[in-house]
C-alpha cells in the first residue's frame, strides 16, 4: 500500500512537471532534445504507467513516440498535436481533482466485458464439474458398470475352473478403441419387471498363450438394498475347443 | 479381427508418443504463428517472416514436450496395466498424476504435488469425456425393445424360454 501511495505522489508531481514540457517539446520538434526527454521521461514514468490508468500519460508519450519515429513534422503529427491538448488538459484536471472517475459509457463497457468473462468462466466450471461428476459416479458409485466389472472380475479370477483353463495371472479388459485403450466395458442397462438389469461383457486372458475368454454377466438391482446382484456370470472360451464355464448362476 | 489378436500395450507407447508430438507440433505451430505475427515489427513482410521464424523455432519444442508427456504417460499406463492386470479408468488417472509428478520432479515436492493434481484432474476430465461419449453412442444404437431372454450358453433352469439370438446385441 505504501509503495502505491509513493508511486501515486511521484506520478502526480511528474505529471505536473511533464505536461508543460511535453507541449513545449512537441512544438519544438528538435530531435536530439526530443530523444533525450523521451528517454528520461519514459524511464522514470514506466512503473507509474503500469500502476495507474495509462490514459493520462499516453497522449503525451504517444506524441513523443510519433515524432521520434517520423523525425519531422508530418500531417499525422500535426493532427495528433492539434487533437491532443484538450485530451491532455482533461486528463490533468482529472488528476488534479482527485481519484479518476470513469464515465458511464466506460463503466457499461467494463461491466459488459466482466460479465462476458464471468459467463465464460461459469461455462468452463460447469463443464468441468459435469465431467468430474460423471467420472466420480463411474468410479465410486456401486451401481456403475465399472464397479460391477471389478466385482465380476474378482469372482471370475478366483474361480478354480477358470484358473485351470486360462492359467494364473488372469487379466481383463474391455472393448478396444481405435487408440489402443481397452478401458470401456460394453454394458447394457435395461428395465425388466420394474427392476434395473445390467449386462456386461468383457474379455479375459490368462498365462496360456492364445487363449481368450469372453465373460458375460447380468446383474439385477435388489429392490430393498438398491444394490446390484449377479444373476449369472459365465466365461466363454473363444478359441477352438469351445466351452462355457459357469462361474455363478443365481437365476 | 486383427485388432483383437494384437496386444496393444508395448506398441501403444510409440503410438502415443508420435501422436502427442504431432498434436503439439501442429497446435503449437498455429499458436506460435499467431504470436510471431503479432510480435514482429510492422509491415507484412516482417510479420510473415517473424511468424515463420517463431513457428520454426518453437513448434518442434512444443511438440517435443508434448511427446515426452505422451510417452511417459503411456509407459506408466502400460506398466499399471501389467501390474494390476486390469484395464479401467483408474489406470489413466493414476498415470496422468504420476507423469505430472515425474516431469515436475526437478522443481521440488510442492510443485510435484501441484503438477500431479493437474495431471490427474486433466486425465479424469478426458476419461469423463470418453465415458460420456460411449454412453451417448450406446444410446444411439440401443434397441427400442430390450431383449429379455437369457443367453443360450446357460443351461435351462427354470424351464423358461431359451431362444437363440440373445447374443450379439451388446453395443
Q: How far apart are CA A77 and CA A200, in angstroms?
A: 77
Tell me which chain A residue has its CA closest to the CA of residue B167: A216
SS3 category, A238: coil
Q: Does B43 map to a domain?
A: yes
Residue A248, phi then psi, degrees to nearest 5: -150, 140
Report pTM.
Answer: 0.65
| Cross-strand partners of A189 | A198
Interface test with A, best of B79, B130, B136, B147 (most A CBs within 10 A): B130
What residues in chain A have their Cβ under 8 A from chain B's Cβ atoms? 128, 130-135, 138-139, 146, 149-150, 153, 169-174, 176, 179-184, 186-188, 190-192, 199, 201, 212, 216, 218, 232, 234, 236, 244, 246, 249, 251
The shortest CB-CB distance from A138 to any of B15, B89, B170 is to B89
Domain count of chain B?
Answer: 1
- Would B129 be classed as within a structural domain? no
Q: How far is B19 from chain A (nearest CA, A)?
A: 10
- Measured torsion, CA atoms of residues A120, A126, A129, A132, in degrees rounded to the nearest 10: -90
Any domain includes B34: yes
**Min CA distance, A22 vs chain B (Å)?**
26
Domain annotation covers residue B29:
yes
**DSSP-H helix ranges across chain B:** 2-5, 9-39, 44-84, 89-103, 109-140
Residue B2 domain-assigned (yes or no):
yes
User: What mean pLDDT value characterizes chain A?
Assistant: 71
Residues of A in contact with B158 (CB under 8 A): 251
- Answer yes or no: is B27 within a domain: yes
- pLDDT at residue A203 greater than cutoff 60: yes
Span of B24-28, B104-108, B140-144 with lowest mean pLDDT: B140-144
The range of the structural domain enclosing residue B19 comes to 1-63
ipTM of the complex: 0.71
How confident is the model at residue B169, as a pLDDT?
A: 44
C-beta atoms surrounding B116 within 10 Å: 20
Return contacts of B58-63, CB within 8 angstroms, 24+ apart.
Answer: B58/B28, B58/B32, B59/B25, B59/B28, B59/B29, B59/B32, B60/B25, B61/B28, B62/B24, B62/B25, B62/B27, B62/B28, B62/B29, B62/B31, B62/B32, B63/B20, B63/B21, B63/B22, B63/B23, B63/B24, B63/B25, B63/B28
**pLDDT digits over B99-130, tens only?**
999 999 999 999 999 999 999 999 999 888 88
Give a yes or no: residue B130 inside a domain.
Answer: no
Residue B71 has pLDDT above 90, yes or no: yes
B112 lies in a domain? no
Amino acid at each position: 500500500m505504501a509503495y502505491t501511495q509513493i508511486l501515486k505522489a511521484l506520478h502526480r508531481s511528474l505529471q505536473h512537471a511533464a505536461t508543460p514540457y511535453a507541449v513545449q517539446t512537441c512544438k519544438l520538434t528538435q530531435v536530439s532534445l526530443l530523444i533525450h526527454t523521451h528517454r528520461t521521461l519514459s524511464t522514470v514514468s514506466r512503473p507509474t504507467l503500469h500502476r495507474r490508468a495509462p490514459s493520462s500519460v499516453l497522449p503525451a508519450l504517444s506524441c513523443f513516440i510519433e515524432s521520434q519515429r517520423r523525425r519531422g513534422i508530418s500531417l499525422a503529427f500535426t493532427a495528433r498535436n492539434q487533437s491532443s491538448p484538450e485530451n491532455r488538459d482533461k486528463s490533468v484536471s482529472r488528476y488534479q481533482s482527485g481519484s479518476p472517475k470513469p464515465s458511464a459509457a466506460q463503466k457499461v463497457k467494463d461491466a459488459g466485458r466482466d460479465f462476458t468473462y464471468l459467463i465464460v468462466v461459469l461455462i468452463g466450471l460447469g463443464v468441468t464439474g459435469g465431467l468430474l461428476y460423471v467420472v466420480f459416479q463411474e468410479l465410486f458409485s456401486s451401481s456403475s458398470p465399472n464397479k460391477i466389472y471389478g466385482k465380476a472380475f474378482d469372482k471370475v479370477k478366483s474361480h478354480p475352473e477358470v484358473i485351470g483353463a486360462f492359467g494364473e495371472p488372469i487379466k481383463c479388459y474391455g472393448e478396444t478403441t481405435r487408440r489402443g485403450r481397452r478401458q470401456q466395458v460394453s454394458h447394457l442397462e435395461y428395465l425388466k419387471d420394474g427392476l434395473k438389469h445390467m449386462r456386461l461383457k468383457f474379455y479375459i486372458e490368462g498365462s496360456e498363450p492364445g487363449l481368450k475368454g469372453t465373460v458375460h454377466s447380468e446383474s439385477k438391482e435388489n429392490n430393498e438394498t438398491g444394490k446390484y446382484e449377479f444373476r449369472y456370470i459365465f466365461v466363454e472360451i473363444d478359441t477352438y475347443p469351445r466351452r462355457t464355464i459357469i462361474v455363478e448362476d443365481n437365476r | 479381427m486383427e485388432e483383437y489378436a494384437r496386444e496393444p500395450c508395448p506398441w501403444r507407447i510409440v503410438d502415443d508418443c508420435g501422436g502427442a508430438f504431432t498434436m503439439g507440433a501442429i497446435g503449437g505451430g498455429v499458436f506460435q504463428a499467431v504470436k510471431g505475427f503479432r510480435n514482429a515489427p510492422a509491415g507484412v513482410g516482417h510479420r510473415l517472416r517473424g511468424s515463420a521464424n517463431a513457428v520454426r523455432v518453437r513448434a518442434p519444442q512444443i511438440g517435443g514436450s508434448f511427446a515426452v508427456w505422451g510417452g511417459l504417460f503411456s509407459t506408466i499406463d502400460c506398466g499399471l496395466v501389467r501390474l494390476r492386470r486390469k484395464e479401467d479408468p483408474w489406470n489413466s488417472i493414476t498415470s496422468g498424476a504420476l507423469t505430472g509428478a515425474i516431469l515436475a520432479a526437478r522443481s521440488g515436492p510442492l510443485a510435484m504435488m501441484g503438477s500431479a493434481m493437474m495431471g490427474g484432474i486433466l486425465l479424469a476430465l478426458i476419461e469423463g469425456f470418453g465415458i460420456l461419449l460411449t454412453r451417448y453412442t450406446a444410446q444411439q444404437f440401443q434397441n427400442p425393445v430390450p431383449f429379455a431372454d437369457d443367453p443360450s450358453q446357460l443351461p435351462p433352469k427354470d424351464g423358461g424360454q431359451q431362444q437363440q439370438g440373445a447374443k450379439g446385441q451388446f453395443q
